[in-house]
């Protein structure tokens, strides 16, 4: 990996590591909601005779806590700085540098995701392990695939948010686009409920036609042993590549029509 | 020439409301055919009123904005097509924007820039050492950028723009909002960088003291067009701005006519007279004045650059 990429990843990590109280508050909130979601899911499963569309209790617990942990890693509804920098005109300084802003933002966000893994991911997972009975994969390879799947999910999350941020070149105010992405990604990723509860046609549409399941459901399915893990991971990598390519194309178009706001 | 521009033009499309639902397109030329030729090692003042097209020119020369027409070459490169290559050879400071990382200490921004610009460690260390000494960065190098004062941040911005050893330094209002001491520090630093022959400097500013202290050549732009390209003295000559003698007298001004000078004002009940030098030297006029009237006090005032520029902007 080139040194500049590594330096940007480290910088992203350090940037977010400075906000310790925010990290603590965010982790605490994730844990509280983890408990609530766990109780709801387990009640639904119990009333359905112990299985929720094929998920047993331990699998549901893993699905919930993995989701709570990954929430801050994929940063689903938190927009990237780029939209604000386009709005204020500060994006001009990103373009003065001898590096494509797409990579600057990607590596910085990977650094941020790394910090979130160490804090916002591990603590809720530990809470799940301590207070509930989780499904733990027996094959060590599955753990490696879960880690790779989380990295792919972080890149997919970045791609989506960067694309939304780039709409600022046309819209200036991206709040609508951010809200739409937030709503679609939380439902479509399986954050609120496992996608298996949806009708089959809708599941097919989501998995085949959108990147949303790659944000969360894909990793959960690999972890609880549903579906072919390599195929799921390949799907995530496919969406990561597609989104990054789309970001690159949109950015090229945006910078050609660039109007720097405010002199 | 390290910077060349021929017929450089940038049009923006603006939509204006003309009815309840109708909007009309208007094309506004922010830069309207600018020609520039700047030699290596020059320090050039690029000034103009707000909205004249200064920043837009700079953005085209740095490859950020695509010109609507015309041609530009900087360091022998085409700015837009070769933006990334050019970025390694130029430094840019936009006074109202920051290129530093808000949440990180200044020193970490510098180290990050070293990797981004792929600067050898020894070169980076030497340049940083020099900037630290000249700009007194030591006191706040470990402070996060968000906690720096404007003056401290600007010193950081200038350092950040120079660490990769750029051939051209584009500065857009680097002294905006700074206090007297910080302005002085920035000017002295730029004078030092120029004296060392390290970079060609293009400076846009509204603070004409920056121009007086730093720039031998001045390009004035208004409504997207170059209206003056030459030295400050040439500008004064062109707009007829003259040095002035202000004489305080012991008696009332008798209404004399002095060769080579013109009375521009009589104030203070006739005890103060202002004479604009119009061909004669200050010495000649003072000697003639001393013979004619009893003098109490005397001063020679240089023409105010602000007045000349204001007249130029108003197209007097």
CA atoms of B305 and B212, how far apart (whole Å):
8
CB contact under 8 A, B59 and A11: no
B152 touches chain A (CB under 8 A): no
Q: Which residues of A touch B83 (CB under 8 A)?
A: 95
CB contact under 8 A, B112 and A8: yes
* pLDDT tens-place string over residues B26-56: 888 889 999 999 999 999 999 888 888 898 9
- Res. B272 pLDDT band, cuts 50 70 90: very high
The Cα of A180 is separated from the nearest Cα of chain B by a number of Å equal to: 27
| Chain Cα centroid distance, residue A242 | 16
Q: Which residues of B touch A102 (CB under 8 A)?
A: none
- Whether B316 has a pLDDT exceeding 60, the answer reads no
Which site among B97, B147, B160, B204 would you substitute to test the A interface, given the most A Cβ atoms closer than 10 Å to its Cβ? B97
**Which among A3, A15, A99 has CB closest to B103?**
A15
Q: For chain A, give the percent of residues with pLDDT over 70.
A: 97
- A113-131 as b/e, with b when 16 or more CB fall inside 10 Å? bbbbbebbbebbbebbeee
A249-256 mean pLDDT:
89
CA atoms of A232 and A222, how far apart (whole Å):
7
Q: Which residues of A touch B104 (CB under 8 A)?
A: 11, 14-15
Q: Which residues of A touch B (CB under 8 A)?
A: 3-4, 6-8, 11, 14-16, 18-19, 89-90, 92-93, 95-100, 104, 255-256, 258-260, 262-263
- Whether B185 has a pLDDT exceeding 60, the answer reads yes
- Among chain B residues, the shortest Cα distance to A90 is held by B97
- Whether B169 has a pLDDT exceeding 80, the answer reads yes
- Whether A261 has a pLDDT exceeding 60, the answer reads no
A150-175 mean pLDDT:
93
**Which tops the pLDDT comparison, B283 or A159?**
A159
pLDDT given for residue A263 in this prediction:
52
Sequence-ordered list of residues with C-beta below 8 angstroms from that of A46, at least 6 positions apart, any chain = A57
Rg (CA), chain A: 19
CB contact under 8 A, A93 and B55: no
CA atoms of B253 and A46, how far apart (whole Å):
108
Number of Cβ atoms within 10 Å of the Cβ of B273:
24
CA atoms of B63 and B71, how far apart (whole Å):
12
- The one-character DSSP state at A41 is H
Cross-strand partners of B44: B202, B217
Which residue matches tokens 């208007």? B26
A44-59 mean pLDDT:
88
pLDDT given for residue A78 in this prediction:
84
Which residue matches tokens 């700074």? B178
**Which among B62, B112, B118 has CB closest to A11?**
B112
CB contact under 8 A, A4 and B116: yes
* pLDDT tens-place string over residues B244-270: 899 999 888 888 888 888 888 899 888
* pLDDT tens-place string over residues B92-110: 998 888 889 988 999 999 9
**Which among B85, B97, B108 has CB closest to A90?**
B97
Alpha helices, DSSP H, located in A96-228: 101-116, 122-131, 140-166, 168-171, 175-188, 200-209, 217-224
pLDDT given for residue A259 in this prediction:
62
The Cα of B163 is separated from the nearest Cα of chain A by a number of Å equal to: 13
- Whether A193 has a pLDDT exceeding 80, the answer reads yes
Number of Cβ atoms within 10 Å of the Cβ of A175:
10
Domain boundaries, chain B: 3-237, 242-304
Number of Cβ atoms within 10 Å of the Cβ of A242:
13
CA atoms of A90 and B152, how far apart (whole Å):
19
When the pLDDT of each residue in chain A is averaged and rounded to a whole number, the result is 92
Geometric angle at alpha carbon B118, from A156 and B59, rounded to 5°: 75
pLDDT given for residue A1 in this prediction:
61
* pLDDT tens-place string over residues B300-315: 887 777 777 777 777 6
**Which tops the pLDDT comparison, A18 or A154?**
A154
pLDDT given for residue B144 in this prediction:
92
* pLDDT tens-place string over residues A222-247: 999 998 999 999 999 999 999 999 99
pLDDT given for residue B24 in this prediction:
86
* pLDDT tens-place string over residues B205-234: 888 888 888 998 999 998 899 988 998 888
Q: For chain A, give the percent of residues with pLDDT over 90.
A: 76
Sequence-ordered list of residues with C-beta below 8 angstroms from that of B301, at least 6 positions apart, any chain = B243, B244, B245, B246
B299 touches chain A (CB under 8 A): no
At B7, give phi and psi (nearest 5°).
55, 35
- Whether A181 has a pLDDT exceeding 60, the answer reads yes
- Whether A42 has a pLDDT exceeding 70, the answer reads yes
CB contact under 8 A, A263 and B96: yes
> What is B3-237's CATH number?
3.40.50.300
A148-153 mean pLDDT:
97
Q: Which residues of A touch B64 (CB under 8 A)?
A: 92, 95-96, 255, 258, 260
- The one-character DSSP state at B302 is P
When the pLDDT of each residue in chain B is averaged and rounded to a whole number, the result is 89
B87 touches chain A (CB under 8 A): yes
* Long-range CB contacts (within 8 A, 24+) of A143-151: A145/A222, A145/A229, A145/A230, A145/A233, A146/A219, A146/A222, A146/A223, A148/A233, A149/A218, A149/A219, A149/A222, A149/A229, A149/A232, A149/A233, A149/A236, A150/A70, A150/A73, A150/A117, A150/A121, A150/A219
pLDDT given for residue B290 in this prediction:
87
Q: What is the dihedral of CA B121, B126, B131, B137, to 10 degrees?
A: 70
Q: Which residues of B touch A14 (CB under 8 A)?
A: 103-104, 108
CA atoms of A33 and B300, how far apart (whole Å):
78
At A12, give phi and psi (nearest 5°).
-60, -45
Q: Which residues of B touch A92 (CB under 8 A)?
A: 59, 64, 94, 97
A183-196 mean pLDDT:
92
């Amino acid at each position: 990996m080139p040194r500049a990429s590594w330096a940007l990843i480290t910088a992203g990590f350090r940037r977010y590591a400075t906000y310790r109280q925010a990290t603590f508050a965010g982790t605490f909130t994730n844990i509280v909601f983890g408990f609530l979601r766990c109780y709801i899911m387990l009640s639904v499963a119990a009333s359905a005779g112990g299985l929720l569309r094929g998920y047993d209790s331990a699998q549901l617990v893993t699905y919930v806590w993995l989701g709570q942990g990954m929430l801050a890693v994929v940063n689903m509804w938190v927009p990237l700085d780029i939209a604000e920098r386009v709005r204020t005109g500060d994006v001009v300084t990103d373009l003065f540098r001898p590096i494509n802003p797409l990579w600057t933002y990607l590596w910085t966000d990977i650094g941020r995701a790394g910090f979130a893994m160490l804090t916002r991911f591990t603590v809720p997972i530990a809470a799940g392990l301590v207070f509930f009975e989780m499904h733990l994969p027996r094959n060590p390879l599955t753990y490696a695939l879960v880690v790779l799947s989380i990295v792919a999910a972080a890149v997919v999350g970045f791609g989506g948010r960067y694309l939304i941020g780039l709409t600022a070149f046309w819209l200036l105010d991206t709040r609508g686009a951010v809200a739409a992405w937030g709503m679609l990604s939380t439902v479509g990723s399986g954050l609120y409920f496992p996608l298996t509860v949806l009708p089959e046609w809708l599941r097919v549409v989501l998995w085949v036609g959108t990147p949303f399941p790659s944000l969360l459901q894909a990793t959960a399915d690999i972890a609880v042993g549903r579906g072919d893990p390599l195929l799921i991971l390949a799907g995530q990598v496919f969406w990561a590549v597609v989104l990054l390519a789309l970001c690159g194309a949109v950015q090229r178009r945006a910078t050609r029509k660039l109007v720097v706001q405010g002199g | 020439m390290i910077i060349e521009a021929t017929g450089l033009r940038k049009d923006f499309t603006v939509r204006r409301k003309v009815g309840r639902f109708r909007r009309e397109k208007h094309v506004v030329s922010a830069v309207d055919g600018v020609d520039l030729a700047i030699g290596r090692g020059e320090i050039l003042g690029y000034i103009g009123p707000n909205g004249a097209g200064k920043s837009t020119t700079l953005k085209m020369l740095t490859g950020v904005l695509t010109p609507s027409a015309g041609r530009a070459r900087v360091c022998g490169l085409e700015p837009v097509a070769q933006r990334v290559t050019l970025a390694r050879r130029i430094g840019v400071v936009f006074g109202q924007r920051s290129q530093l990382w808000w949440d990180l200490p200044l020193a970490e921004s510098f180290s990050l820039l070293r990797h981004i610009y792929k600067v050898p460690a020894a070169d980076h260390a030497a340049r940083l050492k020099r900037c630290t000494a000249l700009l007194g960065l030591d006191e706040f190098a470990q402070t996060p950028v968000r906690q720096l004062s404007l003056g401290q941040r600007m010193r950081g911005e200038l350092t950040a723009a120079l660490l990769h050893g750029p051939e051209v330094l584009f500065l857009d209002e680097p002294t905006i909002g700074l206090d007297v001491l910080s302005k002085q520090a920035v000017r002295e630093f730029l004078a030092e960088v120029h004296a060392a022959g390290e970079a060609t400097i293009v400076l846009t500013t509204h603070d004409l003291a920056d121009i007086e202290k730093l720039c031998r050549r001045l390009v004035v732009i208004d409504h997207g067009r170059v209206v003056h390209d030459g030295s400050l003295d040439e500008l004064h000559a062109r707009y007829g701005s003259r040095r002035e003698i202000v004489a305080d007298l012991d008696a009332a001004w008798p209404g004399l006519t002095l060769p080579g000078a013109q009375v521009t004002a009589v104030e203070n009940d006739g005890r103060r007279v202002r004479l604009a030098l119009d061909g004669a030297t200050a010495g000649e006029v003072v000697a003639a004045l001393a013979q004619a009237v009893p003098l109490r006090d005397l001063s020679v005032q240089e023409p105010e650059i602000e007045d000349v520029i204001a007249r130029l902007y108003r197209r007097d």
